[in-house]
Amino acid sequence: MGFVRSWLPGAAAALLLVTVRAADPVVEPLAAPAASAERPALRSDAEELGYALGYRIGQRIIADHRALGTPLDPGTLGRGLADAVRDVPPVLDEAGFRRVLAEFEKRMEQHDDQLAAKMAEAARKNLV
């Protein structure tokens, strides 16, 4: 669980730093805004900033999970973010967090191992 332990403390700060860059190549260009009848307007600078940061964080997270091929439920992701920001007690207990994050870390390590094997094979082919 080393990666998760070392990654989680700075994750929010890192996501904010990464997501606020205007020319981030990983983030897809924005689609046209939804019609105002479909969604309520953002009425203050704080609402606009909160929405913009949340949207960029969401884009980054879903891009990472698509690349890893890991399932992610957007509704519960939003719920987790909202609970954390509002300082609401979590739905999972500490053992639940550890179990879920350990499983996720294992998947990430497997993905990294597969990628390293592909890169090694490509390098080997380049040397032949």
8 Å CB contact between 105 and 1: yes
Tell me the pLDDT of the chain averaged across its residues: 78
Hey, what are 2's tokens?
Answer: 């080393």
The tens digit of pLDDT for each residue in 34-57 reads 665 677 789 999 999 999 999 999
CA distance 90 to 80: 8
Chain Cα centroid distance, residue 57: 6
87 three-class SS: coil
Q: Per the confidence metrics, is the pTM higher than 0.75?
A: no
